[in-house]
Amino acid sequence: MQLAAIQNLARYWTNEYDWRRCESRLNALPQFKTEIDGLDIHFIHVESAHKNALPLIMTHGWPGSVVELLETIGPLTDPTAHGGGAEDAFHLVLPSIPGYGFSDEPSELGWGPIRIGQAWAELMRRLGYTRYVAQGGDVGSQVTDAMGRLALDGLIGIHTNLLTPALGDAEALSESPPSTEERAALDALAEFQATGNGYFVEQATRPETIGYALLDSPIALAAWMIDHDTDSYQKIARGFVDGQPSGNLTREHIVDNITLYWLTSTGASAARSYWEEGQENARAAGQAPTPVSIPVGFTTFPGEIWRTPRSWVEKAYPNVVYFNEVDKGGHFAAWEEPGLFSEELRAAFRPLR
């Protein structure tokens, strides 16, 4: 995190930013809480006015929240007002992961992607959705991947924009020798693991240690959250240093998300979700993962940590019904390019309607 960027962020947050605008925006949406497995789960539920809309549950990531998905609500639930047709409409469910934002903070162990995925299935059941699809990026991709492997009643397809299985063993997904595309992806992943995943290691091994700083200092929280991957950091920093945001990654929207973490004191509990994921993976070590038999859609965004080759997606998921490479957007695709992201979901899930 560079000094000029964090100084400008602090200056903006102190002198110009107005949380009440974000608060009003959230309060204009249908928000709810329901107790699942001992925790109050917060979620936004926007029903489409279009007949035969397809229910969709989308899971945010870290260091995101439901804030990163807000700009997709209009295009997904009301496509006719955003360049799509009524046949592309979704009923949209946006839950907050336990320990993030307005959902309860877990007080017991075991809240990894599998348990969260099971909770999401219960949430959709309570909402009366017997046939639905799921989407996720970043941590949300891990939850969505887990949902696909759980053979959940009613789940008919998933879409992700981060290939979660590659985080476990990208080499196993490659040909021998790797193709040019695969070699580039392997090199990018190795570079990230060597120079860019400090946050991942710290949160997966010492979440409480970094958590004390995240609960004590708003500037520590902001700096930690903004320094994710190189592409995302550079785009976010530009908004504060040069005043040139990338897509929807504006100063206001970035600080909306940071403020949500600060006001709910969820910096440490969100960090702990990485430790939970590690524990879940350790318990599954040596076991072949359950295959995903339902249809899978995948979109590669150019600014992602690595460009995912189609060969990797098809090896990870035997039933790929949609794959596309787009020309803009990065790791936080729904946040940065909500219009393009929404178009991708319409296309990916169109065959399942």
Active site residues: 138, 274, 331
> Which residues make Cβ contacts (< 8 Å) with residue 5, sequence separation at least 6?
226, 236, 237, 240, 241
- The alpha carbon dihedral of 323, 327, 331, 335 has a sign of negative
Angle value at C-alpha 68, between 281 and 77, nearest 5 degrees:
105
* Radius of gyration of the chain measured on its C-alpha atoms: 19
Q: What is the DSSP letter of 28?
A: T
Q: What is the DSSP letter of 55?
A: E
CA–CA separation, 310 vs 163, rounded Å?
10
Q: How many other C-beta atoms lie within 10 A of the C-beta of residue 349?
A: 23
Q: What is the dihedral of CA 236, 237, 239, 245, to 10 degrees?
A: -40
- Pull the structure tokens for residue 229: 């991957």
Q: What is the DSSP letter of 79?
A: G
CA–CA separation, 112 vs 262, rounded Å?
23
Three-state SS at 179: coil
299, amino acid identity: T
CA–CA separation, 100 vs 64, rounded Å?
9
Which residue is it, tokens 């200092």? Answer: 217
